[in-house]
A and B are shown apart, each in its own frame.
Chain A
Amino acid sequence: MRRTKTLLAATMAGICLAACAPGETEDEAAEGPTGDVEVDFASFEGETLDYIYFTDGPDEQVTRDLIADFEEETGASVNLQVLPYDDLEVSLQARLSGDNVPDVARLTTITPFSDELLDLTRFFGDEYPEEFLPGQVGAVTGAEGEMLAVPSDLTMNGPFVNVEQFREAGVDLPDPDDPWTVEEMVAAAEEVQAATGTEFALAIDKSGHRVSTLLSQFGTTLLDEDGVALDAGAAEEAVGLLVELMETDAMSGDFWLQSGSRYEGANEIFAAEEVPVYLAGNWMVAEFAESVQFEWAVAPNPCAERCGGFPGGKFMAAFERSDNPELAAAFVQWMNRTEQQERLVGEALFLPTRQDLVSQGIDYPQRGPDMEVFLADVKRTPEDTYESNAHPAFGATADYLAEEISETLAEEQDVATAVEDTIAEAEELVEDAQ
């Protein structure tokens, strides 16, 4: 009996101890310094900052080289901490909740951290955002118009083609200045499939972000500044085409269904020469340049109602609770100056986000013509795609669309229901995000 009482008392004590707000209440959330700050790059001698980073592969070495130059120029030292991409958000959240705040981080979205990020215009002026592409600046603009990060590189979705298979099949590739229509692309891919005996005609990553390219080409986007923007008719055409291609084995339905709720890249299908056309994005250029043995090229995005691809990108942000916010902001600004970004995107085969670099072009040391195709597509890509990608609810809505396509493929519903459900879910997600 006494033992039971002791156990009960210990449990109650534990619960009482735990039963207090497990962190800050919303009212207690940190408020950062306000007012304009003059940045003196000569004042950082002997100071240190932590930079949380994930790598796409080819960018890591050039980033390390740039950091070395920054250290030499300012006398500060940068502690680069490379994390696996999958752990990035949770690790950062854990560090922030444990008051172990890093100074700078590379991010794919600022949404989960927006209340923790420094407004860079406080350090570099209200004109600073104008140095970057307006669409990408939209993705880093806070509710009060703050610039919460710098768009450090732009990504653009687009198709890769197996040139050898096209040549063998006697099928012409499109002119970079005169893109295919979507129908022409599918017909060409199916002709190559028939002639060369590849397993499939086309492949696409299992990702709502990639499907958004097709949505845009058919004239719609998931979201825009005002919320849900998906046009049911256009979406049914785009999703219907995708489902039809998988049902007729022009695309692999197994690939889409077999990965469950996980993201799955189709790059291995393309690399194994099982498919002549692969819809991915410019981040694959460096990997294919290194690992693929056959002749391949980037084709311009096809047109339907509209042309162009779908954007994405990476961002560099400084944290408000950093021990040295001035150094953190300075580092972000320095790493994204014209000279530094030109070096990064050139060596890593990325696309620039700076207006001056987009205008003057980049002299890529390898795969230049392929990168030029992506750059041309940047100019053809509609503005509303940037708004869609920048919306805080975009990631979850795009994931939901991918799941709805899975259910359609498994014959649990039709295309119209998939689109209708996506619109309903998007409305809820937009409301939650606000």
Chain B
Amino acid sequence: MSRTTTEQPARRRGRHGGIKGRRLAPYLFVAPNMLIFGLFTIWPALNGFNISFYDSDDGRTFSFVGTDNYTDILGEDEFWEVVRNTLTFVVAFVAFTTVAAIALSLLLNAQLRGRGILRAAYFLPVLISPIVVGLIWNWALERQVGLVNTVLEAVGLGQPGWLLDPQLAMGSTVLVGLWTHVGFFALILLAGLQAIDPNLNEAAGLDGASAWQRTRHVTLPLLKPTTFVVVILATITGFQAFDFIYTLTGGGPVGATTLIVQNIYEQAFVSPIEYGLASAASVLLFIVIFGVTFANYLFARRADAT
């Protein structure tokens, strides 16, 4: 009897690890991931922040310059031109992509024949490497022999310089970005749509609401939390856009589609190399993305509260 009473608590401790064990367990579960995250993300980011206060053109010798890299960047016309391009791209990309993703998710949520095939088709560009996306559209939008202009020429609409005229090039870049990412955002919104109780729409219908009124006054308000997630993700994606643009336009013509990440890449990896300036620009980009994301978060919280 006494043996049983002494063994039971021991087994319980073994199974649940006691209070201390229970406290420790979550940390142990996340530890491997945090170790990798810390080693390959946090540590390099902190080092990048540190390097932004040094001047180095070879990554081996560093001279401390204080905040000179920041003042140099902020004093350059080229940087502000890149900032203007980036903001233009981000605003247009987020607006068009979000609207297109909502429309697409509503379409995919409807009881259409071949819905599964459509979902796969719209998601397909997400699976293609951004480098390949850039190359495909570079060929398709080529002025004289590109697919798009061949069709336009055949119907008498001329041969616009999609990648040669600065305004058209920015528009083309936004559209290619939309084509690449809309499937992913539509998928997130589709999950949000399917979480909405169908009885609410049905009840509105019984009260005489039209399809548009049901979408406008029932579906979209209930989809707001998911839409905010999409807006935040699209904003981050927009600020970080680089790979497909580099192969689509190379940042041209004459810098019209050069965004901040390409500018950072060229400072860091194209001769003459300036690691300090590139790091300082990266820190500024981080601050902007963090600020915009935080503002979005606050806006979403306030909207939820009201």
Contact = CB atoms under 8 A, between A and B. Distances in A.
B61 A25 contact: yes
Instruction: Indicate the member of B62, B138, B161 with the most A CB atoms within 10 Å.
Output: B62
Contacts of B62: 21-26
A410 interface: yes
Instruction: Indicate the member of B56, B62, B138, B253 with the most A CB atoms within 10 Å.
Output: B253
B164 to A, nearest CB: 5
Interface string B39-67: 00011001101110010111111111000
B61 A261 contact: no
A199 B143 CA distance: 13
Contacts of B163: 257-258
Contact of A429 (B56, B166, B252, B272): B272
Instruction: Indicate the member of A20, A22, A115, A407 with the most B CB atoms within 10 Å.
Output: A22
Given A22-B54, A257-B164, A258-B252, A15 B59 contact: no
B72 interface: no
Chain A interface extent, by class: 35 or more
Interface in B251-306: 251-255, 257-258, 262, 266, 269-273
Contacts of B270: 261
A116 B250 CA distance: 33
Nearest to B44: A18
Secondary structure of the A side of the interface?
Answer: helix
A432 B269 CA distance: 17
B176 to A, nearest CB: 14
A399 B62 CA distance: 26
Interface of A: 14-15, 17-26, 28-29, 89-90, 93-94, 96-97, 112-113, 115-116, 199, 254, 257-262, 395-396, 399, 403, 406-407, 410, 412, 429, 432-433
The 7 closest A-B pairs by CB, nearest first: A260-B250, A260-B252, A18-B46, A262-B250, A260-B251, A18-B50, A257-B253
Contacts of B43: 14, 18
Given A14-B46, A18-B47, A260-B258, A406 B253 contact: yes
A260 B50 contact: no
B271 A406 contact: no
A93 B254 contact: no
B156 to A, nearest CB: 21
B60 A93 contact: yes
B139 to A, nearest CB: 11
